[in-house]
Amino acid sequence: MRGLNICIPSYNRPQGLKGKDYFSAAKYVIPESQRDQYTKTVGAKRLIVIPDESDRNIARKRNWILRNIERPLLMLDDDVSALGHSEGGKQQICLDPETALDVIKQGFNLAYEWGCVFWGVNCNEDGRNYQQYKPFSLTSVVLGPFQGHLEHNLLYDERMGTKDDYDFSLQVLCRYKRLLRFNKYCYFTDHGDNAGGIVSERTMAKEQTYCEAIQRKWGTQVIKYRLPPQKMWDLLNAQKVNVPIAGV
C-alpha cells in the first residue's frame, strides 16, 4: 500500500524497543526532552519529535499522531516485537517481517473494501482464541498495541487514561457500526516487565479510576471490569465487552 505510515508512540523506553528491527519502516513518536536518548538507539531519521506538552499521556500522544500523520496509519506499541499466528491452537508461528508487512497491507485494503475506518488483529496470542470458522470479526474490540486507522475524525478520550483503546473501539462501533479485526493474526508483546512507558506509572488506584470512568461512559452492560479488584490483572483487561450490534 502506497503512503502507509507506521508510527510507534514511545516514552522513556529507548532501550526497550522490542520491534525496532522487525518494523524497520516504523518511526518512533517521542517527546522533545527525550530526543537525544532515542537518537542514540534508533537514529534521528526514525524519530518524530513532538512538544513535551503533547505527550503527557498516551491518549494525548495518539491524538497528536491522528491530527498530524496522514492515513493510512498504523499505530503500534513500542513493546510489540512481531506479528504471528498459531496452528492447532498451540504452536505459535512468528511471521517474518516481509510477510507481516504484507498482512498489514492486506488489512488496510480489506478494511477499505468493507467500509471500515479502523482495524486490527487478535488481542491475545493464545491460539485457543482463534476460531477457524470466524477468521474476521466486525464487532470485536481492537486494542492499543496494534491499531490501523483509515480516514475518520474521531479522537481518543483523554479522560479514559489507560482504557483509551477500549474506548476508541467503542467510539468507532457506536458511530460506524463496524470495525475489522483479523482473528487469525495476533501481536507478540511484552507488557509486564518492559520498564518505562505507562507501565512505570500504573497503580491499582489509577487503574480502578479509569475502569470506573469507562463503565460510567458506556454502561456496565457494554463494558465491565471486576470491581472491586482482587489483583492488578482484574483492572488491565475488561471482564466483559458486549457490543449491542448484531453480527460477528
Whether residue 72 is preceded by a cis peptide bond, meaning omega within 30 degrees of 0, is yes
* pLDDT at position 217 over 70: yes
Q: pLDDT tens-digit profile of 24-45?
A: 999 999 999 999 999 999 999 9
CA separation for the pair 184, 130 (Å, rounded): 6
Give me the architecture of the 5-194 domain, per CATH: Alpha-Beta Complex (3.90)
In this structure, the number of other CB atoms found within 10 A of the CB of residue 79 comes to: 24
Strand partners, 84: 94, 186
Q: What's the predicted TM-score (pTM) here?
A: 0.93
242 with 222: CB under 8 angstroms? yes
pLDDT tens, 153-189?
A: 999 999 999 999 999 999 999 999 999 999 989 999 9
